[in-house]
Every structure is written in structure tokens, then in C-alpha cells.
Amino acid sequence: MSTLSPYLFFDGNCAEAMQFYAQVLGGKLDMMRHDQAPPDAQAPQQPAERIMHARLSTDSLVLMASDWMAGQAFPGASGFSLSLGYQDIARARATFDALAAGGEIRMPFGETFWSQGFGMLADRYGTPWMVNVEAPAAAP
């Protein structure tokens, strides 16, 4: 079995962003700062408080992240969106609203021809999201 998990990069605010995602999405958050690496880890020198690796796990997702290397130009997030699918429209709307707070709504959450609810946003950390209410599976 294989899995695909998004790995996000942040410009020095990874801890804050991942704590926000844990608050919105729930789950278990583990983080390791650069100053927690063993002395013989041969990791590049970085400010101690920057996040070397973070992992948010829920029943349905694994989201990993770290801070971008200090001193290198941060490229930002582009060319993708994280897509969350829900069966419950109220939960989807609540998640959309929470992620959108302080961010940019790119398509307001609402009914579409394919969904009872869909919206697109970039959160306050620049991460692009799509929130979708998935149609019930057709009976066989």
C-alpha cells in the first residue's frame, strides 16, 4: 500500500500555521524544531525555533510541513490546492469559514451544478484550499 500526503512549506511560521490547521481540522499534531535535532544529525544550520518537520494526522488525512530554509527566497504556494471533501454541508461550510478567516476567498462557498456546497480560498498563510460537499454514492 502507498499513500500520498501533501508536504507544505512556510516562511518561518510553520508552527503557527500547523496549530491553526489542527484547530480547524482536529487530529494529532507533532512538530520538531531545528534545535531538537540530535547533534550528529548533519542537518543544515537554521534558526533554532524554525520547524524541521511537522505532521498533522486525522482519521482521513495526513498533512506534513516545515519551514523553508532561512536565507533562501521563499517561493510561496502555487499551482495546487488542498481539497477537502465532506458529506455534511454544515461541516463543510464551517471548515470553509474557519480556513477563510484572515485569508482570501477565491470562490464563495455555495451550491454548484456538481455539489451542494463548494468553495475555494487561500488561507491566512497562503495555502490554497478547495472545500467540497461530495454527492452521495449512487445505489448499485
**DSSP result, the chain:** ------EEEESS-HHHHHHHHHHHH-SEEEEEEGGGS-TTS-PPP--TTSEEEEEEE-SS-EEEEEEPPTTS------S--EEEEES-HHHHHHHHHHHHTTSEEEEEEE--SS-S-EEEEE-TTS-EEEEEEPPPPPP-
Domain holding 63, by residue range, is 7-67
**Same domain assignment for residues 100 and 62:** no
Closest Cα partner for 119 from 140, 136, 139, 99? 99
Q: Is residue 106 part of a domain?
A: yes
Whether the per-residue pLDDT at 40 is higher than 90: the answer is no
Q: Which of 21, 43, 67 is the C-terminal boundary of a domain? A: 67
Determine the average pLDDT of the residues in 95-108: 98
Chain segment 27-39, per-residue pLDDT in tens: 999 999 878 777 7
- For residue 121, the domain's CATH number is 3.10.180.10
Closest Cα partner for 56 from 81, 19, 86, 99? 19
Cell of 83: 481539497
Predicted confidence band of residue 138 (pLDDT cuts 50, 70, 90): low
This prediction has a pTM of 0.90
Could you give the number of structural domains in the chain? 2
Determine the average pLDDT of the residues in 5-33: 97
